Homo-oligomer: A and B are copies of this chain.
Amino acid sequence: MDEQLVEMIIKFRDDRGWKQYHNPKDLAISLSLEVAELLENFQWSSSEEALEGKMPNIKEELADVFIYAVLFAESIDLNVHEIVMEKLNINSDKYPVEKAFGKKNKYTEL
């Protein structure tokens, strides 16, 4: 996330005095609930049907996923840029281009 956006999310939380509730276990639960709300848009539908009929809600729920992911990171002082960079390196080792190209298998099955 760009810094400006992270700051706005933190300000939103702090304006409402919510930091006191934001322990990481409950924030991980929140993330799981927000992702379920996103996924609900695709229940009983193809991707195409969902995008056609439910785009406004898809946008909102995806935004909530980002917001809670940032709040989770903040609650334990993680820097999003850093952990994503590190994970891309780990994933590059798990999925080397020459083995993973064009395959949808898990790395344990490459």
Contacts and interface: CB of A to CB of B under 8 A. Distances in A.
Count of chain copies: 4
Contacts of A91: 12, 67
Interface of A: 1-3, 5, 8-9, 12, 15-18, 20-21, 23-26, 28-33, 35-47, 50-51, 55, 58-60, 62-67, 69, 72-73, 76, 78, 80-81, 83-88, 90-92, 95, 97, 100-102, 104
Given A1-B80, A23-B47, A80-B1, A29 B12 contact: no
A52 B38 CA distance: 28
A65 B31 contact: yes
A90 to B, nearest CB: 7
A43 to B, nearest CB: 5
A80 B62 CA distance: 9
A29 B29 CA distance: 8
A35 B33 CA distance: 9
A44 B104 contact: yes
Contacts of A18: 100, 102, 104
